[in-house]
Amino acid sequence: MHDDRRITEVRLERFVRERINPAVYSRSLPLALSSWDVPDEPVPALEAMRQEFRPQEHGAPWGKPWGTKWLRLQGEVPESWGTEPDTTVEVVVDLGFTIETPGFQCEGIAWRPDGTIIKAVSPRNQYIPLKLLGGGMAVDFYVEAAANPDVAQGWTFAATPYGDKSTAGTAPQYRLGPIAIAELNQTVWELQQDVWTLAGLMEQLPLELPRRHEILRALERMMDVMDPDDVAGTAAAGRDALAGVLARPAYASAHQLVATGHAHIDSAWLWPVRETMRKCARTFSNVVSLMDENPDFVFSCSSAQQLAWIKEFYPELFSRIREKVRSGQFVPVGGMWVESDTNMPGGEAMARQFVEGKSFFLAEFGIECREAWLPDSFGYSAALPQIVKSAGSRWFLTQKISWNQTNRMPHHTFNWEGIDGTRLFTHFPPVDTYNSELSARELAHAERNYRDHGRGTVSLVPFGYGDGGGGPTREMLAAAARTANLEGSPKVRIGSAESFFQQAEEDYLALPVWVGEMYLELHRGTYTSQARTKKGNRRSEHLLREAELWCATAAVRTNGAYAYPAAELKRLWRLVLLQQFHDILPGSSIAWVHQDAERNYQAIETALETLIGQAAAAVLGPGERQFLLNAAPHPRDGVPALAAAERATHPEAVCATADAGGYILDNGIIRAVLDADGLLTSLVDYASGREAIAPGEHGNLLELHRDTPNEWDAWDIDEFYRRNVTALATALSVSLEEHGSAAVVVVERLAGTSPLTQRITLEPGSPSLTITTAIDWQEREKLLKLGFALDVRADRSAAETQFGHVFRPTHTNTSWEAAKFEICAHRWIHVGEPGYGVAVSNASTYGHDVGRSVRASDGGTTTTVRLSLLRAPKFPDPEADRGDHELTVTIRPGADIADAVQEGYRTNLAPRLVRGASPVEPLVAVSNPGMVIEAVKLAEDGSGDVIVRLYESLGQRSAGRITANFEVGAIQPVDLLERDIPAPGVLVDDVETDETGATLHLRPFQLVTLRFVRP
């Protein structure tokens, strides 16, 4: 037979384009338009409808960037429309859409005149059924049109002014398209879906497979039997020609796909938070509208914050969502406040993501999410399995690891083992997208790509337009229906994430295991971009620690005379958690987002400082004695952990002497030598007598790198940045200052054209040297690193993560290690060899790299620890990080892991001196310093019970006791949501004994939460 396959395929493409698609709507009639332009920020619907609407021309340009235009649409439906079988009437609204980037351009939401939401209109979802407009043949409703600019600009990563209202300009971004009443031919639409599914499937099948040619000939017969001049009249015949191939059942061994509706809505990204609120309303209104028409449709919705916005600003829509939750169609998933970054949030913040998220879903819907849902975060901390399980959840889903540049994950379904040994059932959907359209290409890819064939038979596919929202469409539901049991395709069923996980657990019993972090081999620059946002996060986390501790202490010590501010603390926690969203804290959003974040952090600091001041005054009483409030989990300056007492003084000042143009600083614990350029040439701790700085090398060396990633500017640091570096080894000036008993060396230098001043401080009694770098950063596409070349043979580094630390090799034996050329650490990083190590801590920096080399001179090993201080990416915020910064780093020689943990807290909890009348005992104390108390607070249920969260910090088996210094009626281990659970290794005392507490035998990094019940 002659091969006319390509001829027929080209014929099909044109037949669909020119005949079928235009015939979906057989006739249309333009609507009368009037409009009102919102002067600035969006206003509520009823307020907008009260404004003066003026005649609006069809096809006119509209929409200054980030502006809003309200349109009023009016008209009459001709009597004969919608009366023929298989025809319905819809309103089609084209705001000037392009179909390429749904969610990244203008969008609209339709409102009834009574202020209730109808549904949204978006690039691939432009219709509004007449029956939703209130009945009758009259059309009269409003569209709130958002002129969101296309910041992505084709993903060229070129600098754009659109991310900041002050630079975005006022030129119209869009031109109105057709806005009309239209008659939908249901049969033609169904034919359109048949062809889309079959043509897509055909393209995915091998040429040698008979099924491919069977489909081709059926499509050919469809075109032959139809009249191109009467598509509507012959569409039924066309469908009949395709019915046979659509009815062929799938192979018995076909891969199974559980398709769950989804709309991954970034809580901020290339749009501000205020626009996300409207995106949520638009998407969720579409979803509930689809559910009304499709009772089997299931939609998975993560992020409690987004539903909290709907409850506050769109209460009528929230009520509709509640109904769909009760029916099992609208399914909350994830149990987090937002889909947060997981690399940088601290341990307690990561825990609170689940506390606040799960509590919201339980309170509002009576639903407990059992899966953690993080499709798009930029890598996954090794501490997550324990945190997820401690929150009462049992499954984990992610997608982003498919973006790895170098290595491919070996499994799609597996047990993920965290730092403490907790294992978590994890799925990584092989469809490699969280925005599926359920196209044949995507379904075929999921089946081909699945790495666990022969052991597992099922995977998950989240479908619906996302990132900028939109969600599933009726076309996607049509695709799901056609591929439920179709030869050549995986079997698709619509269901919830929970139903998938239950099926997968039963299906795949002997799971492989992945141990440790799931490091994303991409987006490494997110540890550094937007340093102010990162500093605000770190500062807020520690202020919340202090506020909860002192507020709880005051409430207990005053027997309730001081009222614990539970509601205000919850509000502030939720605001901090929002900023930890995976495009805010990582620094990958437009300028507007980070400006909002900085304002939020300032407001958070002001509110928390007020709470801390009030609690301190209540617990200390009026007086003039000066006390140190030590919120750290370790003693400080003679003050016990978690207590307030008078600060011990150090009798001897630091000795500072000039030396060859530089200075020697010595406090009897460590001795530091700085040369005439302010570089650290020697650092010795007297306990070991060992030199920390490698021979001929330096510490405190600033280096400036070219930073021009191939794409994803704010996200990425590419490995070739290392090949272009300028060492900032020459100082403009070096001088000595004395501050009381401390000594400070002041170094001024230039980083490119950016002036900076370093203050290198040694305090009396301090085991570490503090380096504070103040800089007016004016570079573009540069990366500033601060390095320490250490005389340590370290084959791995230890970096703090949530409730512990993670080890990473310093060598590059394999591609997996080589890919980790930039790593994340929280408050400290440690490198060591048996018997000796060095800890480097920071107050707001997350990006690091650790390298090693063997010296030719003496055969010793130099391990270099560098911190990434600042970047200057041009997209999506061309002014990212420019301006003033102050960054603090400490280096502690002769340090073990316990010292590193202590140093991290010391660096991030500045001494808080307060005047009062009397000292305050800690509420609780732990006998083993390796057991770190992370949080002390009152219970979420308002009972007044004290909640204490602690963890084993050294990565070893540890034993000790925790005791309460207040009257306790009972002690109960609880989960993160403060529900009673058994806790291995926790033996609670009989409360009738003189000492009330618990004996702890903890495994490495074990996390424990205890409720101290007050009688």
The answer to whether the beta carbons of residues 185 and 232 sit under 8 Å apart is: yes
Q: Which two tokens stand for residue 844?
A: 């707001």
Q: State how far the Cα of 965 lies from the Cα of 948, in Å rounded to an integer.
A: 13
Positions annotated as catalytic residues are: 376
Q: State how far the Cα of 1015 lies from the Cα of 1009, in Å rounded to an integer.
A: 19
Number of neighbouring beta carbons within 10 Å of residue 565: 21
The answer to whether the beta carbons of residues 909 and 632 sit under 8 Å apart is: yes
Ranges of beta strands (E only) in 478-583 are 491-494, 513-515
Q: State how far the Cα of 910 lies from the Cα of 637, in Å rounded to an integer.
A: 12
Coil, helix or strand at residue 573? helix
Amino acid letter for position 852: R
Q: Which two tokens stand for residue 906?
A: 């010391």
- Nearest residue to 449 via CA among 255, 605, 697: 255
Q: State how far the Cα of 278 lies from the Cα of 144, in Å rounded to an integer.
A: 10
Cis check: omega of the bond before 876, within 30 degrees of 0: yes
Terminal Cα distance for the chain, rounded = 90
- Nearest residue to 780 via CA among 752, 760, 742, 759: 752
**Backbone φ and ψ of 993, nearest 5°:** -75, 170
**Backbone φ and ψ of 682, nearest 5°:** -155, 140
Coil, helix or strand at residue 898? helix
* Alpha helix positions (H), 158-272: 186-204, 210-225, 231-247
Burial 66-92 (b: 16+ CB within 10 A, else e): bbbbbbbbebebeeebbeeeebbbbbb
The answer to whether the beta carbons of residues 553 and 615 sit under 8 Å apart is: yes
CA angle 971/972/975 to nearest 5° reads 145
Number of neighbouring beta carbons within 10 Å of residue 57: 10
How big, in percent rounded to 5, are the helix, strand and coil portions of the chain? 30, 30, 40
Q: State how far the Cα of 33 lies from the Cα of 178, in Å rounded to an integer.
A: 11
Q: State how far the Cα of 554 lies from the Cα of 564, in Å rounded to an integer.
A: 8
Q: State how far the Cα of 405 lies from the Cα of 906, in Å rounded to an integer.
A: 37
What is the H or E stretch that residue 481 is in? helix 474-482
Coil, helix or strand at residue 769? strand
Coil, helix or strand at residue 58? coil
Taking CA atoms, 90 is separated from 43, 161, 231, in Å, by: 27, 38, 20
What is the H or E stretch that residue 544 is in? helix 531-557
The answer to whether the beta carbons of residues 699 and 662 sit under 8 Å apart is: no
The answer to whether the beta carbons of residues 282 and 478 sit under 8 Å apart is: no
The answer to whether the beta carbons of residues 877 and 589 sit under 8 Å apart is: yes
Q: State how far the Cα of 122 lies from the Cα of 120, in Å rounded to an integer.
A: 6
Taken in order 109, 113, 115, 119, is the CA torsion positive or negative? negative
> How deeply is 984 buried, as exposed, middle or buried, from its count of CB atoms within 10 A (0-12, 13-18, 19+)?
exposed
Q: State how far the Cα of 505 lies from the Cα of 553, in Å rounded to an integer.
A: 45
**Backbone φ and ψ of 824, nearest 5°:** -105, 135
